[in-house]
Amino acid sequence: MNKEYMHIILADDDEDDRLFFTDAFEELKINTKVKTYNDGAELMDYLNSEDSILPEILFLDLNMPKKNGIECLHEIKSNPRFGNIAIAIYSTSSSEEHIEETFVSGANIYIKKPNDFNTLKKVLSDVVTINWQYQTSGLNKDNFLLRM
Q: What is the pLDDT along the chain (148 residues), one digit of tens a residue?
A: 446 788 999 999 999 999 999 999 999 888 889 999 999 999 999 999 999 999 999 999 998 989 999 999 999 999 999 988 999 999 888 888 888 888 888 898 888 898 899 999 998 988 887 755 544 444 554 555 454 4
pTM for this entry: 0.86
What residue type is 54 in one-letter code?
L
Q: Residues near 63 by Cβ (< 8 Å), separated by ≥ 6? A: 13, 69, 91, 92, 93
